[in-house]
Amino acid sequence: MAGNILNRLFRLNFPDCTREALSFLTSYISQDCPAIPGLNANTEQVIVEICQEFVLFKSVRGPQKKLTAVQELHLLDMICTCFSEAPEKSKYRIFNLMFGAHGDGTVNLLTKLVSLALSVRCTPVLFCAAIWMQERDSLSPVVKGLTQRLVSDYCILYPDHSNVFSTLPSVCPLFACNFVTAVTSLYSFAGIDSLPPLALLQHVSDWVFKDNTMCCESLRQAAIHSAYTTPVPGLTGWCVRGPLVCCQLKEKVSDSQISQSHIESLLVCLEKLHLALLQSLTFTACVNLSPGLISASDLTHIAQTLQVVSRPNPSQEEELACNIALERLAQILQVAANTRTYIADRGKIKELESLAKHKLPQNRLLAMVLSNQLQGIKPYSVIVTS
Amino acid sequence: MLLKMASAVQQDLSDVDWLVMRARSFPKSDPYSTKAWLITAKSLYPESFVFQFESYLVEKTGKNVDEAARYLQDMLQNFPNEPRLWSEVHSILESLQKESQDQKVTFLTDLFAAIPTSTQCVMLLRVSETISDVLERCQLLLLAMKKFPNLVKEHGLKLVEILVTEETNSGIVNNPVNCYRKLLVCDVMPLVLQKGGHLEVNKFHLYLWLQRATEFYVSYVSQPHALDPNAENVEMNLIFTDGNKSRGLTELDMQVADPWGSLLKLLLLIGQHLKWDMEMDLVIKTKEHQIQSLQHQLMRVKLHGSEIYNKQILHTAMVLFVHSMVNYVSYVDAESCSSGSLHLVPIVLVEGLASSMSASPVNPRSKKQKLDSLAPSIQCSPNITSSVAILQCFETAVKCYDILNSTEDMKLEFYNLCQKWRKETQTMKSYFLADMAIYQGNYEEALAQLSQLPATTNPKMKMRHSLQLAGCYFFLKQYLKACELVVDLIETIPCGSSISSLWSACDGTEDRATRSLLLLQCVDGEILPFCLQFLIVALKEKMMSPHRTDSTLAHLIILLQFDWPKQEALFCEVIATIQKQASFTYNAFFSYVHQVDILEEFAFLDTPEGGKVNLDIMPNSTKALAQQRTVTRGVNKGVKEDFKATLEKQVGSVMEASHVLIRRFLKEERAEILSNFV
C-alpha cells in the first residue's frame, strides 16, 4: 500500500503534495524508519525520492518543477511548521534528510529557509541549521555563503536596528554562536578590506555583552558533535586588530566612504566587545565551561596577525592604537590563562614572549602577564567576581 | 613628548599601583575599558583588595545596584578586615537611617536591600561594634533590630542598658527630653517589649522603664513650642546635642508624632509583660477607648483593695494623670503649651458668685466630705467649644490625683515620680493644682499654688491670675484684697471692648445646695461682667453686715444699673434696707445714677407712701443747707423743689451707656469703694 505513496503524491498538486510528503516523512522518521510494507528494498531510496520530488523540487525523473516566488515562500513556511510540530528527536534527522550530505544544490533553499526562520523566530529550524553549520565547520565556504546572505539580509539591506537580530541569542543561542564564528571568518578585521559592517558589530558586541555564555554554546555541543569552533578566537582578533585597523582607516578617511563617526562607533563597539569577552571567560569559568574557548595557538596566531597589520615607522596615533591592541591581547591572555581556558603550553607562551620581545612594540602589561605565566602555572583560583 | 613624560612617571609605579592608575585613567564615559582593566588586574592579583574595591566603585558610579551589591558581598566574605570596606559599609548604614530622597542615599539603600539578609545582619552588627559614639552605635543597633527582629532577644536589653548608662554618664539626666531617652523610650522600649518575647527583666525594672517613659513624654509635651517647626529654640538644641553638634539627634529626629498614643502603648505593653488585668487587644483600640478602659480598670482594681495591685494603680493613675493634666492645662495656659496651640484664649476656673452665701468656707462641713458627697458643678461659658473634653480632662486628673495621694506609700511614690520633671512641667502641675484647690474650695492651698506660678507678661494670663486670687481672697473673707484686685483688673480692660451680659448660670437663681463654679474664657466680654458681679456680691455681703454704710448701699445701686433690670430683686432689697433705716445720704448720687426706674424709686421714697425717707442725695448736702436755713420753713420747701427738679432734669438728660458710667464711677470713686471693705 505504501508503495502507492509516490503515485498518490504525484497525483497531487502543490501545495498539497508537499504537505502530504512532509507529514509522511515526519511520521516515517518518527517511527524509527519501519520497513514500508510492499516495498521490500530501497525504503531509503523512496524516502529520499519523496524529499527530492516534493520538498526540494529537484526531480530525478521528469522535468524540473519550478516554483513561483510565492509558492516558494509557501513551501518554506510549510517546512518551518513541519519542524515546529515534529517530535524533538526527529527534527535533525528530517533536516539531515533535506539538507544533509546530498550535494550542495540545496544550500540556496536552506539559506532562504534560515532567513525566514530568523524572522519568524522558528527555533527548531535555527537549531538544526546551527548543528549543520557546526558539522560543516563554521569556517567552511558553504557556511560562509549562508552567513554572507544573512548578514546582507539583516545588516546591510536594513542597517537599522533589527529586532530579529537583536534577540537572536535568546531564540537560538547555538545558532547565534556559530553564526558569530562564521562572521569572524567572513570579516577578519585584518585590514581595511575586511571590516565587519557596523550594524553587525553592534549586534555581536551586544549579544556577547548581554549573554556571557553565548560564546560557549558550540563547545557545549562538542560532546554530541565532535567538531566545533568557538567565536572567541575570531572575536579576540577583532578586538586586538580592530584599533590598529581603524587607526589606519582614519588616515584614509578622505578617500574612503567611511566617516569619522562611523570609525568611532566601531571602536566603541570593540571596547564593549572586549569587556564582554573577558566577562564571558570569567563567567564561563565559574560554571566550568571555559576550557577550549580559545587556545594558546589562537593567541599566538593573533599576535602574529597583529605584527602583519602593524607597519614600520608608525605614527603616534598608530603607536597608541598598537598599545591598546597589545594590552587587549595581554588581558585576554591573562584572564584566559587564569580561568584555565586554554592548556598552558610553555612552548607556546615562550613563542609568544619572544614575539612580544622582538617583533612587537614594548608593552608593560603584556610583559607583566607573560612573565606571570612563565613563573609557573598559578593554582587555579575561582574568580568569584565577574 | 607628553607621552614620554607620562610613561617616565609610570615607570616608577609598582605593578599594582600602575594597574590601578591605568584602570582609573579612562573617562567615566568609558566604563568598558576600566572594567576590562580591573578584570585583568583581579586575575593577576586575586588576593589584592584594591581591585575589588575599585570594581565596586565603578559599579557604584554606574549605579548598577546588583553588581555593586555582589562586589560588596564578595569583599565582605574575602576581605573582612579592610578598613576601607568597613567605612563604606558604615556610610551605607548611615544612609539607611536618613529619610532623604537624595539619589545617593536611595542608591545606597537599594544597595543594602540587594545584599542577602545574613550579610546585612553581619554588616550591621560588625559596624555597630566599631562605632565609638554611643548614640550612633545605638541607632545602628536599633536599625539592626528593626530589620531583624530576632536580634532583639540577644541585643535588646543590652541596648536599653547602654542607653540608660549613657544618659546617666552624660549628665543630662536632669532633662528627660534628651537624645538617649528619646531613643530609649520611643524606639527601643516598644521594640524590645513587642519583639523581645519573654524578657529576663526584674519587674521593678519595668516600672522604672515606665517611669522613664512617663517622664520623657510629659516633659516632651510640656516643653515650649516643641511642635512649632518655625520656632527658634536655642535651648533645646543645646540640650539635644549636649553642646556638641556631632553627638545627639537633630531637632527633627527629636520630634515625636503622637506622644500620648506612644505612652499609652508603652503602658499597655508593659502592663502585658507584668500580667496586669487588662483588656487583651487594647493596644489596637482608639486612644479614647484606651483611656476609658484604663480608667475603668483603675477603678476596678482600686475597689479590689489588694496590695498586689498597688503598682498597677500607681502607674496607670500616673499615666492617666499626666495625660489629662497636661491636656487640661493646655487649655489654661494656651500660649506656652505646645499641644494647646489651637485654642489661644486661656480659660479660667472661678468660684460661682451665686453660691457664695451658703457655701462660704465658714461652713463647718469638711471639704473632703463635701467633695465626696456633693461634687461641685462647673458651668462652662458657651463660648468654650471643647468644654466637654476640658471638663473630662479635669475630672480625670482630679480623680487620679486623689488616687495618687490616697495612701502614704502612694503619696511618696507619686512624689518621687514627679521629682525629675522639668520646670515647665512643674508649672503645669501648679496650674492644675491651683484649679483643683479652687474646685475643692481649698482656698489657702489655691493661694499657695498660685503664688508658685511664674510671673507672666501675657495680659490674658495676668487677668486669669488676678481673677483666681481675687476669688480666693473673697472666700477667705479678705474682701478688701479681693475687690482691689478686681477694680484694678477692670482698669486694665480697654473701654471699647464689647460687653455681653453674663449668661444665666451666674444669675444666682439656681439651687444653692451645691457649690457651682464657672469656667470662663479670658476675654474682656466675659471677664468684665464677672468682675462687676463680683463687686456687687461683695457689696451685698457688706450690706448684710452690721458695718454697712450708706455708701455701700449707694455703690451697690450704681453697680446694679449695669444690665438693668436683671438684678431688680437685689435692688428691691437695697431699697427695703434704706426704708428700714429711714435715711440715706449720698451726695454723688446724681453723678452716677441715671437709670429712670431707680430715679423713680427714689422719688417714691421721698413720698409718705414710700416711707418718707430722709434723703440727702443732692450734690450740695441738704443737711448742710438745712442747717444754714433752719430759720424759716420756706427754705426747706425750696430744697424739696430742688430735689424734684434735679430728678426730672436727670431723667431728661441723655443717658451715658451704663458700662461707661460704671467705669467712670469705679475710676473716680476707687478709694471710696474700697473703703467699704476696710
Distance CA(A166)–CA(A18), nearest Å, equals 33
Average pLDDT over residues B389-398: 88
Nearest to A229 by CA among A341, A131, A139: A139
Distance CA(B625)–CA(B587), nearest Å, equals 13
Residues of A in contact with B42 (CB under 8 A): 383, 385-386
Contact A213, A280 (CB under 8 A): yes
First-last CA distance in chain B: 111
Q: A248 is written with which cell numbers?
A: 589606519
Average pLDDT over residues B17-34: 88
Length of chain A: 386
Whole-angstrom CA distances from B604 to B557, B594, B598, B613 are: 16, 16, 10, 9
Contact B443, B476 (CB under 8 A): yes
Q: Per residue in A279-310, pLDDT tens? A: 999 998 888 887 888 988 899 999 999 988 88
Average pLDDT over residues A154-158: 81
Of A284 and B361, the one with more pLDDT = A284
Query: With an 8 Å Cβ cutoff, are A278 and B42 in contact?
Result: no
Average pLDDT over residues A162-180: 90
Strand ranges for B159-244 from DSSP E: none
Residues of B in contact with A317 (CB under 8 A): none
Contact A265/B at CB under 8 A: no
Out of B23-32, B54-63, B143-152, B627-636, which region has the weakest mean confidence (pLDDT)?
B627-636
Average pLDDT over residues B133-152: 83
Query: With an 8 Å Cβ cutoff, are B36 and A384 in contact?
Result: no
Which of B9, B11, B29, B39 to mutate: most A Cβ within 10 Å?
A: B39
For residue B173, the distance in angstroms to the closest alpha carbon of chain A comes to 51
Burial label, A369 (beta-carbon count in 10 A; 0-12, 13-18, 19+): buried
User: Which residue in chain A has the smallest CA separation from B59?
Assistant: A386
Q: Which long-range contacts (CB under 8 A, 24 or more apart) does B477-486 make?
A: B477/B360, B477/B362, B479/B538, B479/B541, B479/B542, B479/B677, B480/B674, B480/B677, B480/B678, B482/B534, B482/B538, B483/B534, B483/B535, B483/B538, B483/B673, B483/B674, B483/B676, B483/B677, B484/B674, B486/B531, B486/B534, B486/B535
Query: With an 8 Å Cβ cutoff, are A385 and B40 in contact?
Result: no
Which of B20, B43, B54 to mutate: most A Cβ within 10 Å?
A: B43
Distance CA(B142)–CA(B24), nearest Å, equals 38
Q: Can you say how many angstroms the Cα of residue B81 is from the centroid of all Cα atoms in its chain?
A: 53
* pLDDT at position B227 over 50: no
User: Which residues make Cβ contacts (< 8 Å) with residue B423, sequence separation at least 6?
Assistant: none
CA quadruple B462, B464, B465, B466: dihedral sign: positive
Query: With an 8 Å Cβ cutoff, are B78 and A384 in contact?
Result: yes
Q: What is the predicted pLDDT for the residue at B501?
A: 55
For residue B112, the distance in angstroms to the closest alpha carbon of chain A comes to 18
Q: What is the predicted pLDDT for the residue at B234?
A: 37
- Helix (H/G/I), strand (E/B), else coil: B17: helix
Distance CA(B365)–CA(B374), nearest Å, equals 11
Residues of A in contact with B37 (CB under 8 A): 331
Q: What is the predicted pLDDT for the residue at B241?
A: 39
Residues of A in contact with B40 (CB under 8 A): 278, 330-331, 334-335, 365, 369
Of B288 and A82, the one with more pLDDT = A82
Q: Can you say how many angstroms the Cα of residue B73 is from the centroid of all Cα atoms in its chain?
A: 52
Distance CA(B318)–CA(B247), nearest Å, equals 32
Of B49 and B154, the one with more pLDDT = B49
Contact A333/B at CB under 8 A: no
Using CB atoms, which residue from A272, A320, A364 is nearest to B32?
A: A272
Q: What is the predicted pLDDT for the residue at B122?
A: 83
Average pLDDT over residues A336-360: 85
What count of Cα atoms within 13 Å lies in the side-chain half-sphere of residue B473?
A: 21
How many A-B residue pairs are in contact by the CB < 8 A criterion?
65
Q: Identify the bridge partners of residue B348 per DSSP, sorted by sequence position.
A: B520
Share above pLDDT 70 across residues of chain B, in percent, rounded to a whole number: 82
Contact A384/B at CB under 8 A: yes
Host H or E run for residue B231: none
What count of Cα atoms within 13 Å lies in the side-chain half-sphere of residue B525?
A: 9
Which A residues, 124 through 163, put their C-beta within 8 Å of a C-beta on chain B? Answer: none
User: Which residue in chain A has the smallest CA separation from B22?
Assistant: A365
Contact A326, A314 (CB under 8 A): no
Distance CA(A217)–CA(B116), nearest Å, equals 31
Q: What is the predicted pLDDT for the residue at B334?
A: 64
- pLDDT band of residue B356 (cuts 50, 70, 90) is very low
**Range from B114-128, B369-383, B469-483, B589-603 that averages highest in pLDDT:** B469-483
Query: With an 8 Å Cβ cutoff, are B35 and A275 in contact?
Result: yes
- Helix (H/G/I), strand (E/B), else coil: B584: strand
For residue A100, the distance in angstroms to the closest alpha carbon of chain B comes to 42
* pLDDT at position A7 over 80: no
Using CB atoms, which residue from B15, B37, B74 is nearest to A385?
A: B74
Share above pLDDT 70 across residues of chain A, in percent, rounded to a whole number: 88
Contact A364/B at CB under 8 A: yes
Residues of B in contact with A272 (CB under 8 A): 32
Query: With an 8 Å Cβ cutoff, are A386 and B52 in contact?
Result: no
Q: Per residue in A239-283, pLDDT tens? A: 999 999 998 888 776 666 778 888 999 999 999 999 999 999 999
* pLDDT at position B369 over 70: no
Contact B287, B267 (CB under 8 A): no
Using CB atoms, which residue from B3, B33, B46 is nearest to A383?
A: B46
Query: With an 8 Å Cβ cutoff, are A383 and B42 in contact?
Result: yes
* pLDDT at position A237 over 60: yes
Distance CA(A47)–CA(B553), nearest Å, equals 140
Q: What is the predicted pLDDT for the residue at A18?
A: 85
Upstream peptide bond of B80 is cis (omega within 30 degrees of 0):
no
- Helix (H/G/I), strand (E/B), else coil: A72: helix
* pLDDT at position B549 over 90: no
Cell match 555541543: residue? A221
Residues of B in contact with A271 (CB under 8 A): 30, 32-33, 36
Query: With an 8 Å Cβ cutoff, are B36 and A272 in contact?
Result: no
Query: With an 8 Å Cβ cutoff, are A331 and B37 in contact?
Result: yes
**Range from A326-330, A371-375, B234-238, B273-277 that averages highest in pLDDT:** A326-330
- CA-based max dimension of chain A: 80
Residues of B at the A interface (Cβ-Cβ below 8 Å)?
Answer: 3, 10, 15, 18, 22, 30, 32-33, 35-37, 39-40, 42-44, 46, 52, 55, 70-71, 74, 77-78
Contact A367, A327 (CB under 8 A): no
CA-angle at B200, arms to B194 and B206, nearest 5° = 65
Contact A284, A293 (CB under 8 A): yes
Q: Per residue in B557-611, pLDDT tens? A: 888 888 777 788 888 888 888 888 888 888 888 888 888 888 888 888 877 777 7
Distance CA(B92)–CA(B126), nearest Å, equals 13
Contact A16, A75 (CB under 8 A): no
Residues of A in contact with B26 (CB under 8 A): none
For residue B67, the distance in angstroms to the closest alpha carbon of chain A comes to 9
Pairing mode of beta strands B516-521, B614-616: unpaired
Query: With an 8 Å Cβ cutoff, are A368 and B37 in contact?
Result: no
Burial label, B371 (beta-carbon count in 10 A; 0-12, 13-18, 19+): middle
Which of B11, B18, B44 to mutate: most A Cβ within 10 Å?
A: B44
User: Which residue in chain B has the smallest CA separation from A372?
Assistant: B44
pTM of the model: 0.63
Residues of B in contact with A365 (CB under 8 A): 22, 40
Average pLDDT over residues B632-659: 67
Q: Per residue in B70-95, pLDDT tens? A: 999 999 889 988 889 888 888 888 88
Query: With an 8 Å Cβ cutoff, are A331 and B36 in contact?
Result: yes
Contact B136, B105 (CB under 8 A): no
Q: Taking the CB of residue B416, how many other CB atoms lie within 10 A of it?
A: 10
Contact A71/B at CB under 8 A: no
For residue B110, the distance in angstroms to the closest alpha carbon of chain A comes to 20
**Can you give the three-state secondary structure of B108-157, one letter per residue?**
HHHHHHCCCHHHHHHHHHHHHHHCCCHHHHHHHHHHHHHHCHHHHHHHHH
Residues of B in contact with A381 (CB under 8 A): 46
Residues of A in contact with B44 (CB under 8 A): 334, 338, 368-369, 372
- Helix (H/G/I), strand (E/B), else coil: B459: helix
Residues of A in contact with B43 (CB under 8 A): 282, 334-335, 338-339, 383
Contact A338/B at CB under 8 A: yes
Q: Taking the CB of residue B512, how many other CB atoms lie within 10 A of it?
A: 14
Q: B103 is written with which cell numbers?
A: 539619589
For residue B32, the distance in angstroms to the closest alpha carbon of chain A comes to 6
Query: With an 8 Å Cβ cutoff, are A334 and B40 in contact?
Result: yes
Q: Can you say how many angstroms the Cα of residue A192 is from the centroid of all Cα atoms in its chain?
A: 22
Contact B394, B435 (CB under 8 A): yes
CA-angle at A134, arms to A128 and A139, nearest 5° = 130
- CA-based max dimension of chain B: 143
Residues of B in contact with A274 (CB under 8 A): 32-33, 36
Which strands make up the sheet holding B516-521, listed edge to edge? B347-351, B516-521, B377-380
Please state the φ and ψ torsions of residue A68, each to the nearest 5 degrees.
Answer: -75, 170
Residues of A in contact with B35 (CB under 8 A): 275, 278-279, 386
ipTM of the complex: 0.87
